[in-house]
């Protein structure tokens, strides 16, 4: 049985997709070869699993894969308050100002409650569909920010920071300085 995926892109989206294919995929290919960025390859694998999971068959599974992709990028084994740590890091990674950072943190915490409910055996709720969109958006944007970081540093001839350095920079609110 064949499956077809149909995308309809307007001119702006087409231009952005073309730029992504030409620029970002080249950077991503380099990153997949970097041993210190194996975490990024793992996050991309989870993101791909999320996007390839049929949302009509298993929206819950798709949401879980997106959440795991975010955790692969931003989580640490020894995080005492994992949800708060992930929310703060994600807010700092994606937010452009204090209001956006707070909104992202709040939304991620709500998303993570649904993720935790699912992981602990509770059923999918109808309202969870809104959070599936949110999970897709946050995971995709987080992977893109890491790609932007790598592209910036590669372009400037700077070494790539490892995962721990990135997380430390996010915890200290200095991610943008890593961009070089």
* Helix spans in the chain (H): 11-19, 25-33, 38-52, 55-74, 82-94, 98-119, 128-155, 163-171, 175-178
Prediction pTM value: 0.84
Q: Which residue has the tokens 């703060």?
A: 88
pLDDT at 68: 96
Q: Is the pLDDT of residue 9 over 50?
A: yes
Q: Which residue has the tokens 């994606």?
A: 94
pLDDT in tens, 116-141: 998 999 887 766 678 888 999 999 99
């Amino acid at each position: 049985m064949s499956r077809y995926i149909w995308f309809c892109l307007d001119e702006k989206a087409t231009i952005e997709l073309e730029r992504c294919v030409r620029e970002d995929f080249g950077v991503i290919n380099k990153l997949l070869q970097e041993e210190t960025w194996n975490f990024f390859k793992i996050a991309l694998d989870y993101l791909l699993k999320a996007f390839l999971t049929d949302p009509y068959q298993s929206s819950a599974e798709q949401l879980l894969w997106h959440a795991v992709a975010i955790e692969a990028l931003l989580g640490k084994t020894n995080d005492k308050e994992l949800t708060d740590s992930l929310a703060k890091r994600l807010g700092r990674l994606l937010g452009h100002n204090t209001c956006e950072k707070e909104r992202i943190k709040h939304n991620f915490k709500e998303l993570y409650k649904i993720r935790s409910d699912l992981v602990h055996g509770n059923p999918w709720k109808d309202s969870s569909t809104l959070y599936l969109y949110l999970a897709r958006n946050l995971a995709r944007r987080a992977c893109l920010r890491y790609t932007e970081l790598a592209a910036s540093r590669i372009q400037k001839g700077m070494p790539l920071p490892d995962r721990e350095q990135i997380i430390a920079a996010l915890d200290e609110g200095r991610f943008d300085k890593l961009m070089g």
